[in-house]
């Protein structure tokens, strides 16, 4: 055999060995692919079986569920449409492998979240606002249990119904200042509302008011709260896509751009609000909520993160939401001017023009009361009812299974736009809350709306928000003519009643309007009362030394 022949035989042997090795590799790869396919199929069979037992909804795809169907904005409208399509009060929509239940009917919401509050008062596993957010340090995201009950009790110390009655004097004065500010600079009405709402909760929490529209609490903290609300909406983009693919939340931020600003345990968001709380507790001359929290902490053993959460919740639940509600009130006045004369007639008859209304006038102002209720109903701020509920055990509703720990959400938009309960739902009509009104219909609770949530998870600040909204709406109705803006030719500029932001706490997108005092006497009264209110509130003057924009740069070691 020649050298060439031996070489050919050697090459053939090597080729054969490589072929055998490649076949082995292909077999391993093929086996892994087959195993993965079988795993996905078995998992999808589990999803399919659960899908048949749960409330109606679209068929989920393997792994991704129905996430691909989510719109870029306002998913609550999709859930409303799907509930109509499937002719169901309660809808199942899969976020990845997790079924979520969307309640799109007031009576079903009452049955489940109110009447079965003992079952539906916990929270499901959440990635963005749970593991990567405040988790078990915050009443809002905390699962139901002893620690939650403690935080609820402590929250009631600040904004419970018994406490809220004590806040009437300074809340009334702050409302008078809103009217005074609107009188002087009507084009800045949104900033006046934000200052007002933030000032009320700042007096409660820290013993000092917010006097300026440019105070950092407004320019910085409110913006952060609004951004957080924008993120807390089911979606198919990051960060909420982490709810569909939770495994992605374990990647370190250094190599995962979708984790930018997110970290397990909530990151560094706590330090600033703890500093505000500690400052108020140790330095404020006025009694305040944070001082009470620190005074009782020997027996409650709250961590710094828990105190920071109680501090931050005041702004999260009491400032952005209240100011957004007032902006909606202005939009309603512009879009439905026919409602104003009825309010004016009642206010002129009961109150007159020598003083503005106060909370003591409420029993004598049924139309104004109905007007405020319609503001809450027409464009509810917490459009998907806040954070999701979760049952602590398997439950059944009308034969449908709702498994333990399922994400259960009240679709406030769908509930408040159900034509059975609210005919012509996009029409702003206060008379739907008056007996004999042509659009008046039965409702499962006495208030006639579900703006603040349900059961044991109802918004702790509901009483404060209702009290503050009533007195401010009543005062602005009494004192001003609020109407559409006009262009250079004197023509009214239309307003869009559907132009709202996409966040969990939605508000109207910017629009122009005209706000003018109704008469010269009203103007004089607003001015006189505003100046007196400034004098009355002077005891709360002060300013924090902390700025969110610089806090962590100046305190790099603070968590």
pLDDT in tens, 76-100: 999 999 999 999 999 999 999 999 9
Distance of CA 133 to the CA centre of its chain: 15
Output the pLDDT for position 21.
Answer: 58
Backbone angles phi, psi at 122, to 5 degrees: -100, -175
Tokens of 486: 């006009």
Q: What is the pTM of this model?
A: 0.93
Q: Which of 363, 123, 132, 375 is nearest to 239 (CA)?
A: 132
Q: Which residue has the tokens 């109903």?
A: 377
With beta carbons less than 8 A apart as the criterion, state whether 496 and 426 touch.
no
Pinpoint the alpha helices (H) of 117-160. Answer: 146-159
Question: Residue 41: which H helix or E strand, with range?
Answer: helix 3-53
* d(C-alpha 118, C-alpha 131), whole Å: 24
Residue 459 counted as an annotated binding residue: yes
Instruction: Give the chain's end-to-end CA distance (angstroms, integer).
Output: 79
With beta carbons less than 8 A apart as the criterion, state whether 428 and 332 touch.
yes
Backbone angles phi, psi at 387, to 5 degrees: -70, 155
* d(C-alpha 282, C-alpha 335), whole Å: 48
Question: CA angle 23-25-29, nearest 5°?
Answer: 115
pLDDT at 559 over 70: no
DSSP class of residue 452 equals T
Question: CA angle 444-377-321, nearest 5°?
Answer: 120
Output the pLDDT for position 423.
Answer: 98
* 513-529 residue pLDDT tens: 999 999 999 999 999 99
Tokens of 353: 């023009």
DSSP class of residue 101 equals E
Give the CA distances from residue 75 to residues 78, 82, 197, 234, in Å, rounded to whole numbers and listed in that order: 5, 11, 28, 7
Q: Which of 496, 471, 497 is nearest to 177 (CA)?
A: 471
Q: Which of 143-157, 186-200, 208-222, 322-336 has the lowest mean pLDDT?
A: 208-222
* 375-429 residue pLDDT tens: 999 999 999 998 999 999 999 999 999 999 999 999 999 999 999 999 999 999 9
Confidence class of residue 215 from pLDDT cuts 50, 70 and 90?
A: confident
Q: Which residue has the tokens 């299974």?
A: 401
pLDDT at 3 over 80: no
Question: Residue 323: which H helix or E strand, with range?
Answer: helix 320-335
* d(C-alpha 353, C-alpha 338), whole Å: 21
In sequence order, what are the residues at sequence separation of 6 or more whose Cβ sits closer than 8 angstroms to the Cβ of residue 170?
200, 203, 209, 536, 537, 540
Backbone angles phi, psi at 382, to 5 degrees: -80, 80
* d(C-alpha 467, C-alpha 160), whole Å: 12
How many CB atoms neighbour CB 145 within 10 A?
A: 12
pLDDT at 5 over 90: no
Arithmetic mean of pLDDT over the chain: 92
Q: Which domains does the chain have, with CATH numbers?
A: 139-380+458-554 (1.10.630.10)
* 268-326 residue pLDDT tens: 678 999 999 999 999 999 999 999 999 999 999 999 999 999 999 987 767 788 999 99
Tokens of 223: 């913006």
Q: Residue 490, class by beta-carbon neighbours within 10 Å (0-12 exposed, 13-18 middle, 19+ buried)? A: exposed
């Amino acid at each position: 055999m020649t050298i060439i022949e031996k070489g050919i035989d050697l090459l053939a042997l090597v080729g054969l060995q490589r072929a055998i090795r490649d076949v082995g590799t292909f077999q391993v790869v093929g086996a892994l692919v087959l195993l993965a396919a079988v795993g996905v199929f078995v998992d999808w069979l589990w999803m399919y079986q659960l899908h048949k037992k749960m409330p109606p909804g679209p068929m989920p795809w393997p792994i991704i569920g129905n996430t691909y169907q989510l719109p870029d904005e306002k998913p609550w409208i999709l859930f409303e449409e799907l509930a109509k399509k499937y002719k169901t009060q309660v809808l199942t929509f899969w976020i990845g492998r997790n079924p979520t239940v969307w309640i799109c009917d007031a009576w079903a919401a009452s049955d489940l979240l109110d009447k079965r509050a003992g079952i539906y008062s916990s929270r499901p596993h959440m990635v963005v606002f749970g593991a990567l957010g405040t988790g078990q340090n915050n009443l809002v995201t905390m699962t139901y249990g002893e620690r939650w009950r403690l935080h609820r009790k402590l929250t009631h110390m600040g904004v419970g119904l018994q406490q809220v009655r004590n806040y009437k004097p300074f809340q009334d004065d702050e409302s008078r200042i809103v009217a005074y500010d609107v009188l002087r600079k009507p084009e800045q009405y949104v900033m006046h509302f934000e200052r007002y709402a933030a000032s009320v909760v700042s007096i409660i929490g820290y013993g000092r008011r917010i006097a300026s529209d440019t105070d950092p609490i407004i320019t910085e903290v409110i913006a952060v709260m609004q951004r957080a609300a924008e993120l807390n909406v089911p979606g198919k983009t990051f960060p909420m896509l982490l709810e569909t693919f939770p495994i992605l939340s374990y990647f370190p931020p250094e190599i995962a751009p979708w984790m930018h600003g997110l970290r397990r345990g909530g990151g560094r968001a706590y330090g600033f609000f703890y500093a505000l709380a500690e400052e108020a507790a140790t330095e404020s001359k006025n009694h305040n909520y944070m001082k009470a929290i620190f005074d009782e902490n020997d027996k409650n053993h709250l961590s710094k993160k828990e105190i920071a959460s109680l501090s931050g919740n005041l702004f999260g639940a009491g400032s952005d939401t209240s100011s957004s509600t007032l902006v909606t009130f202005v939009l309603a006045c512009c879009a439905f001017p026919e409602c104003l004369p009825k309010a004016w007639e009642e206010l002129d008859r009961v109150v007159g023009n020598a003083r503005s209304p106060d909370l003591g006038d409420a029993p004598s102002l049924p139309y104004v009361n109905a007007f405020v209720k319609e503001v809450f109903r027409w464009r509810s701020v917490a459009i998907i009812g806040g954070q999701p509920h979760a049952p602590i055990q398997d439950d059944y509703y009308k034969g449908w299974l709702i498994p333990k720990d399922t994400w259960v959400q009240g679709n406030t938009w769908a509930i408040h736009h159900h034509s059975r309960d609210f005919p012509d739902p996009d029409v702003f009509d206060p008379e739907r809350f008056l007996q004999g009104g042509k659009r008046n219909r039965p409702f499962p609770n006495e208030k006639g709306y579900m703006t603040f949530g349900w059961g044991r998870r109802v918004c702790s600040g509901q009483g404060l928000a209702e009290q503050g909204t009533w007195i401010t709406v009543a005062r602005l109705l009494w004192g001003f003519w609020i109407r559409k803006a006009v262009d250079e030719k004197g023509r009214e500029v239309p307003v869009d009643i559907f132009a709202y932001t996409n966040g969990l706490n939605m508000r109207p997108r910017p629009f122009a309007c005209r706000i003018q005092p109704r008469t010269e006497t009203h103007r004089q009264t607003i001015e006189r009362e505003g100046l007196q209110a400034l004098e009355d509130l002077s005891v709360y003057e002060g300013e924090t030394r902390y700025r969110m924009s610089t806090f962590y740069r100046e305190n790099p070691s603070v968590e």
